[in-house]
Each structure stands twice: as C-alpha cells, then as structure tokens.
Amino acid sequence: MTRPIGIHDLAVATTGYVLALDDIAAAAGVDPAKYRIGLGQEQMSVPGPDEDIVTLACAAAAQIIGRHGADRIRTLFLATESGVDQSKSAGVFVHRLLGLPDACRVVELKQACYSATAALQAAADMVARRPDEQVLVIASDIARYDIGSPAEATQGAGAVAILVAADPSIARLEDRVGVFTSDVDDFWRPNDRLTALVDGKASVSAYLDGMTRAWDDYRARGGVPVTQIDRFCHHQPFTKMAEKAHRRLSEHTGVALDPTLITGSAAYNRRIGNSYTASLYFALASLLDHDDELAGRRIGMFSYGSGSVSEFFTLVVSDGYRARTRGESTRGMLAARRPVDPPRYRALRAAGASVRSDLDVSIAPESPGSFHFIGITAGARQYTRR
C-alpha cells in the first residue's frame, strides 16, 4: 500500500520589529480604515539590521530540527524571491547554521511568491521514491516596495519551515493538482533593485485569472468538486485578497461558498504583512492554530506567484494534528515584536539599503533570536548563532 506523504511538522518565524499600519496611515494622511478594512491589514513585520531571509529561515527551521533532529533530512529547499546572493543558495548558510548533515543537497527556488509550493510538490515526490528520507522546505521572504507607494502598506517579512515526510502528523498532500503559467508583468524585481516594481491593479486581476485557470486545470485532471473542499487557504499578499479570491471561486464554480471557510487563515498575515513565498503557509499555520475541527477535512490551497505561476492543490488534515499546532507560541512571538514608529522604520530601511558587497561592514546583533547577520567580509555575508 502507498504510504501517505505530506506535512509532518511546520514552524514559523518573523522579525523582531513591528510597525502599526495606523501609524503610517497617520503619517501619510490616509484613512486608517483603508488599510484595516480595504486591505485587511493591521501591522507589518519590519526586519532589524541583523535580520534577513537567512536568519528568518533559521529561526523557523531550528524549531523543527529541535523537535525531530536532522538525521533523515537529505534535501533542503529554500524558496525565496528576496535572495541574498545571485549564485549561492541562501539554504547553504542555513545548512551550516543549523548543523544539517553533510550528506544533504541544498537548493534555492525562485518564482515570486509561488516557489515554496513547487518545493513542497518536489519534496513529496522525493519522499515517495525514498520514504525513509525527509525533506526540509523553507519559505523565507522580506517584502519591500518603494516608500510612499500604494504597495508600501502591504510589506512584511517572515519564514515558514515545513518538514515533508511519509505518514505525516499534520496533513497529507493529495495527488491531483491544477497549474497555470502566463508571462505577465504584474510584479517583478530587476537585479539592480531592492524594491519590487508592481502594477497593483494588474496584479490583482492576474492573481484572480491565475486562480480560475489553475482551478479549471485541477478539475480537468480529476480534482474533487468545490463542494468537497472544507476550508480554503488562498495566497495572501494582503488578507482582503483572499476574500476576493474566495468570491471569485464562488462565482466561477457557481457554488455559494461560505465566507467563513477562509476565516481562520487570516490571523497571522494581518499582523505580519506579505511574506511572499511564506504567506500561503502562514495562512495554513493560522488555520491549523485557530480551527479545532480540521481532522479528516480537506483544505484547498491556492498558490500564486506574480509573473506568473499559479497552482491549486489540496491537503487532508491528519487526525492528531492538534498535538502539532503551536498557536500560543506564535501569538507570543507576534506580541513580543518591538514596535517602531515611521521615522525609525524608514531609518532601518535606509540602513539596510546601504549595505554593499564591496565594503566590509560589521553589524551588531540586536534582534531577540539566536541567528544574526553580522556583516560583510571580503564581499561575503557573515552569520552567527548564539
């Protein structure tokens, strides 16, 4: 008999600082309701000088290694669209900092916010071939848009680490998936830019188009009717986007989908902001932590990465999943972030943008976690664990 394969554990991390969107609304003369209601966002996580996608990835994945050890991990996929090097995978830094086995392959994947889903599917296929092995998938991103742009309020940062294994404790992946790719300039980040370029309205419409096309492919490939899906997690660049997606899926399928089927998925992203590749998996973490009735239920997952690639797939939640949820610890982590005001947030952004690979620099650890970016030496990024 084929063994089920899927998510055996999942852990999240975000930055040490937080900015209230009411504060940027006040500074910009915008009605705060535009962010709270119009976008469905309350806060954004803001990285300190010693935090980047490597330290966030380590902070998430260290929890998994602490619970399960690393002996069976033979592959690490790091998904990001805010990578720190054009050649070396950020995962290689993570591999050393976490003490993963030498006998391990490490690779970085990129396709905007989508690539963690490709990593998850590839990981499941690897485990299907060798069920005694585990794959560590980490999605880690820092969303940066131009200061003062309409997208600024949707920034955020965070990482989600997922342990993919046979006989998973949290949820099994089902085989049927729907995929869709279309070359569209809705959101992108050229190599010489730290901030993304975006056509906001076009991106919303490309996302919704990708969702219906991925859904159609899912159904054409034998996926279940929408009435057999019990909850939904849609990619959340801002949480109101998931509501738009849910309404569109309802219109597209002609089935009146209950709006509460997405309610549990928004709690973390409202307070973190967009974490690009990690956003869909923060939505899943939020749902698992806020819904006690998920055992045996099917969750529909919609993953979107601008540019664009879309995928619709499903998970079925394991009976004992509640023993693996960590809502209290995640809510504690969010509450422990130190507030920054708009001037301090802008100063942190400017300091981050001034770090260049051709200048040696030393950065003092200041964030509360164990993993820190400590500067550049001879062009190479330096990290420490303490």
Residues forming the site for ligand CAA (CB under 6 A): 31, 33-34, 37-39, 113, 150-151, 154, 187, 198, 200-201, 203-204, 207, 235, 237-238, 241, 274, 276, 304, 306
CA distance 162 to 63: 10
Q: Which is nearer to ligand CAA, 62 or 112 (CB)?
A: 112
Annotated catalytic residue within 8, 51, 58, 113? 113
The per-type count for the chain, helices as H runs and strands as E runs, is 11, 17
Could you confirm whether 113 is annotated as catalytic? yes
Could you confirm whether 235 is annotated as catalytic? yes
Backbone angles phi, psi at 44, to 5 degrees: -135, 140
Annotated catalytic residue within 51, 58, 81, 108? 81
Residues 6+ apart with CB under 8 A from 61: 11, 94, 98, 136, 138, 159, 161
**Nearest partner of 6 among 280, 222, 321, 322, judged by Cα:** 321
Q: How far is the CB of 216 from ligand CAA (least distance, A)?
A: 19
Q: How many CB atoms lie within 10 A of CB 134?
A: 24
Residue 260 CA from chain centroid, whole number = 22
Q: How many CB atoms lie within 10 A of CB 258?
A: 12
CA distance 100 to 110: 22
Q: How far is the CB of 235 from ligand CAA (least distance, A)?
A: 5
Q: Which is nearer to ligand CAA, 31 or 293 (CB)?
A: 31
Q: How far is the CB of 22 from ligand CAA (least distance, A)?
A: 13
The residue number whose beta carbon is nearest to ligand CAA equals 38
Residues 6+ apart with CB under 8 A from 365: 50, 372, 374, 384, 386
Q: How far is the CB of 278 from ligand CAA (least distance, A)?
A: 11
Q: Which is nearer to ligand CAA, 92 or 197 (CB)?
A: 197
Q: How far is the CB of 310 from ligand CAA (least distance, A)?
A: 10
Q: Which is nearer to ligand CAA, 39 or 261 (CB)?
A: 39
Could you confirm whether 290 is annotated as catalytic? no
Q: Which is nearer to ligand CAA, 152 or 175 (CB)?
A: 152
Sheet of 309-317, strands arranged across: 105-109, 73-79, 134-143, 156-166, 5-13, 171-181, 309-317, 298-305, 231-234
Residues designated as active site? 81, 113, 235
